[in-house]
Amino acid sequence: MAFFEVDAQRCKRDDICIAECPIHIIISDRDSGVPKMRDGAESVCIRCGHCVAVCPHGAVRIEDMPPEAFTPVDKSLAIDARQAEQFLRGRRSIRTFRDTPVPHDQLAQIMETVRWAPSASHKQPVHWVMVETPSAVREMAELVVDWMTEVRKENPELARRFNVAGLIAGWRKGQDLILRGAPHLAVAWTEPAATWPEVDCAVALTYLELAAHAHGVGCCWAGYFTYAANAYGPLREALGLPQDARVCGGQMMGYARFRYRRLPWRKPLAIDWK
Our CA angle for 136, 156, 252, nearest 5°, is: 25
Distance of CA 56 to the CA centre of its chain: 29
Query: What integer best gives the mean pLDDT of the chain?
Result: 96
More confident: 157 or 1? 157
pLDDT of res. 67? 83
Largest Cα separation within the chain, whole Å, is: 78
Dist. CA 256–CA 263, nearest whole Å: 16
Q: In angstroms, how far is the first alpha carbon of the chain from the final one?
A: 49
Query: Is the pLDDT at 205 greater than 80, yes or no?
Result: yes
pLDDT of res. 48? 94
Dist. CA 220–CA 216, nearest whole Å: 14
User: Which residue(s) pair with 42 in the sheet?
Assistant: none
Q: Do 132 and 184 form a contact (C-beta atoms < 8 A)?
A: yes
pLDDT of res. 30? 95
Query: What is the strand order of the sheet 246-254 is part of?
Result: 127-131, 184-190, 246-254, 218-221
- Give the tens place of pLDDT for each residue, 108-145: 999 999 999 999 999 999 999 999 999 999 999 999 99
What DSSP designation does 271 have?
-
- Give the tens place of pLDDT for each residue, 242-274: 999 999 999 999 999 999 999 999 999 999 999
- Non-local CB neighbours of 8 within 8 Å, separated by 6+ positions: 32, 34, 59
Dist. CA 21–CA 11, nearest whole Å: 16
User: Which residue(s) pair with 12 in the sheet?
Assistant: none
pLDDT of res. 90? 96
Mean pLDDT of 3-21: 96
Mean pLDDT of 209-236: 97
What DSSP designation does 93 have?
B
Query: Is the pLDDT at 103 greater than 80, yes or no?
Result: yes
Mean pLDDT of 44-72: 93
Dist. CA 162–CA 157, nearest whole Å: 9
pLDDT of res. 11? 97
Confidence (pTM): 0.92
More confident: 68 or 101? 101
- Non-local CB neighbours of 110 within 8 Å, separated by 6+ positions: 208, 211, 212, 215, 217
Mean pLDDT of 68-90: 95
CA atoms within 13 A on the CB side of 65: 18
Q: What is the percent of the chain with per-residue pLDDT over 70, rounded to a whole number?
A: 100
pLDDT of res. 66? 87
